[in-house]
Amino acid sequence: MKFLFLLLIPVIMIMPGCGEQHSTNPFFSDYNTPFDVPPFDQIDNEDFLPAIEEGIRRHKAEIDAIISNTEAPTFENTIVAYDSAGDLLRRVNAVFSRLRSAETNERLQEIAHKTTPLLSAHNNEILMNQDLFSRIGQVYEQRENLGLDREQIRVVEMYYRDFVRSGAALSEEDREHLSGLNERMSMISLQLGENVLAETNAFQLRLEAEDDFAGLPESVRSAAADAAESAGVDAPGIVTLHNPSWIPFLRYSERRDLREKVFTAYFMRGDNDNENDNKDLFAELMQLRQDMARLLGYNNYAEYFIDIQMAETPENVYDFLYQIWEPSIALAKEERDQMQEIIESEGGDFELQPWDWWFYAEKLRKEMYDLDDSELQPYFAIENVREGNFLLANKLFGLSFEERPNVPVYHEEVEAFEVFDRDGSHLGILFIDPHPRPGKRGGAWCGTYRSGSYENGEKIYPIVTMVMNFSRPSGEQPALLTWDETTTYFHEFGHALHNFFADGQYRRTSRSVPRDFVELPSQILENWAGEPEFMNEYALHYQTGEPMPSGLQEKMRNAEYFNQGFINSEYIAAAILDMDWHTADHGDEIDVRAFEKESLSDMGLIDEIKPRYRTTYFNHIFGTGYAAGYYVYRWAGVLDADAFMAFKESGDLYNQELAERFRKYILAENALRDGMDAYVEFRGQEPDIEPFLIRSGLK
């Protein structure tokens, strides 16, 4: 029956009316949009499933053509052909996956539940295909004798490694078992993320009486009122679990009981024994990852993941994390004791709790540095911060940006910019999506709708998107960012620059760097954000246009090391928890709460601090991107602190020679070198951890 159905497809496609959906689906033709961006204004939810199915069909046909080629395997007829295959599937899936993160809805989630197993099975079929693996293997074995250049050899090696790590070298029985594991893991990852989004959107704390607003600055009160109006809630204000809402509430609210409600709702997401509970799903995911790793010859998933990172082994990661953990938790205990003293001096008869930390940290900062975070925000209007990012890119690399209102976007709040290189040539398109919405997952990230590469020698320019969840405008006031939001903006913009500058010839190697290297290009930009010389140019008061006064800047710098015990401890605790999950020998039964409690106890986390992410809402490790890899932000922190020191030591924050070396070795030539080799080419030496420890207030 299946055979008959396949034979009927061509007939159905050409019958009058039956091919209408195919012919009008925007994915099945050239976009005909400015800069070939996705035609968001023409795309309908119902376009995705048929486009993905057709993309899979075409991709299979392209793979079959490689396999059935009667000529001996060569770099061109096997590696290049494989690298360029799957164009339709790549195009539609880029749009689908990005929208599911930034602007999802029930229908997209329904479609994802249909397409996720299809895509997982398709990837398994390709990466375990023995005929394809054989052809790639033959090119791999001869790679040194084929007259290939450095990048070509690396692309061969990386594709061969991809197939081996995906199970192509396993027995047929083990390949089938691994395929089943992959398909189930992909569905679990999808459901875990959806559950966290549902839990986040479900909570609203209604602020009814005037006392509910006690201690809140006018900007926070106004934002709460705007949130209530936007959500259609008949109340003077609400607090949600989006960062721009719950964090300032915990920082300023004098209502300890309400702070507890909000914080508890936040850290219990996915752990409420309801329809969105993530404990059983996560436990199953850990067992499946363990099985997968052992099938592939590793003791655990952490070994599997870290094997191809700069860190190389889980032991190296643990050694690195505990090198930071010990001074961090010691400092956090000092901070706790200082806050407890404030509580007692005010007549409080209670012990500091996690929902108190933000509130008393703000009091302590005010006491020690005469600095309130709300004093800084008027100088970080979101438009000024955006222009500050653009200005920095210009000073370092000569880039310029022009807004393109004619470029279609997927939401009215999204901004589109054309990016120009130093010589005025087109470099790509940048989308900026700044504010939280119910259809957007939490956090901030950068991705692409099209990655940069080359096709038949012609440059394919990237289409990059930055997605954030920053404070919204309120009344007549523009969106005023916190310092943390400001540095996050620079962080994501650093990822965007990496995408614009990556200059590999092939899709597989154009921006291929280890996960514990990829945060270097983003985090280094955060260093410039707080430099007085640069702040004077972008940190301008939203009403007067005057730069931040030197006295306020000095307070800000003096407070730079404030609360670093907490900041580093909550992060490292999450990173160690991630490592513990992915190095443990899991049996048939996993008690998620008990495992997490034991992990946090063993590392010595104090009761007053929760890890930045608890297991049940740890989005980073639900997918494979940062699983056993949440450590990478601090690992890259060592790299970015040392790299920025090169600019500082030169006496010129915008040193053009260093900037060009950074662009060449760190951002552009990813296809040519391993992570540490690239860093040494830029810096002339391996990184020193001292600048990182000093910057973090740990030494």
pLDDT in tens, 274-311: 999 999 999 999 999 999 999 999 999 999 999 999 99
pLDDT for res 23: 58
What pTM was estimated for this model as a whole?
0.93
Is 351 among the catalytic positions?
no
Q: Mark which of 252, 267, 282 sits at the end of a domain.
A: 267
Task: Give the residue among 691, 582, 634, 621 at the shortest CA–CA distance from 325.
Answer: 634
Total number of domains constituting the chain = 2
User: Is there a single domain that holds both residue 51 and residue 96?
Assistant: yes
User: Is there a single domain that holds both residue 106 and residue 214?
Assistant: no
User: Is there a single domain that holds both residue 50 and residue 142?
Assistant: yes
- The per-residue pLDDT for range 197-247, each reduced to its tens digit, is 999 999 999 999 999 999 999 999 999 999 999 999 999 999 999 999 999
User: Is there a single domain that holds both residue 145 and residue 235?
Assistant: no
- The per-residue pLDDT for range 324-353, each reduced to its tens digit, is 999 999 999 999 999 999 999 999 999 999
Summarize the confidence of residues 17-29 as an average pLDDT.
66
Residue 16: pLDDT band with limits 50, 70, 90: very low
Helices 354-369, 256-267: axis angle to 10 degrees equals 120
- The per-residue pLDDT for range 632-645, each reduced to its tens digit, is 999 999 999 999 99
User: Is there a single domain that holds both residue 152 and residue 253?
Assistant: no
Task: Give the residue among 556, 553, 489 at the shortest CA–CA distance from 523.
Answer: 489
| Strand ranges, E, within 411-475 | 415-420, 426-433, 445-450, 453-455, 458-460, 463-467
User: Is there a single domain that holds both residue 163 and residue 236?
Assistant: no
Res 2 pLDDT > 50: no
pLDDT for res 10: 33
CB 213 within 8 Å of CB 258:
no
Residue 35 lies inside a defined structural domain of this protein: yes
Residue 626 lies inside a defined structural domain of this protein: no
- The per-residue pLDDT for range 153-194, each reduced to its tens digit, is 999 999 999 999 999 999 999 999 999 999 999 999 999 999
Q: Mark which of 267, 284, 317 sits at the end of a domain.
A: 267
pLDDT for res 145: 97
Residue 516 lies inside a defined structural domain of this protein: no
Residue 622 lies inside a defined structural domain of this protein: no
Res 423 pLDDT > 50: yes
User: Is there a single domain that holds both residue 52 and residue 101?
Assistant: yes
User: Is there a single domain that holds both residue 165 and residue 35?
Assistant: yes
Residue 469 lies inside a defined structural domain of this protein: no
Alpha carbon distance 195, 278 (integer Å):
7
CB 278 within 8 Å of CB 192:
yes
Range of the domain at 258: 203-267
pLDDT for res 19: 36
Residue 624 lies inside a defined structural domain of this protein: no
Of 492, 519, 570, 608, catalytic: 492
Burial class (CB in 10 A: 0-12, 13-18, 19+), 204: middle
Residue 291 lies inside a defined structural domain of this protein: no
Q: Which residue has the tokens 């926070």?
A: 220
CB 215 within 8 Å of CB 255:
yes
Residue 81 lies inside a defined structural domain of this protein: yes
Give the three-class secondary structure for 558.
helix
CATH code for position 155: 1.20.1050.40
Task: Give the residue among 248, 205, 551 at the shortest CA–CA distance from 373.
Answer: 248
Residue 22: pLDDT band with limits 50, 70, 90: very low
User: Is there a single domain that holds both residue 136 and residue 220?
Assistant: no
Task: Give the residue among 60, 78, 62 at the shortest CA–CA distance from 138.
Answer: 78
User: Is there a single domain that holds both residue 87 and residue 153?
Assistant: yes
Res 18 pLDDT > 90: no
Count CA atoms closer than 13 A to 26's CA, side-chain side. Answer: 18
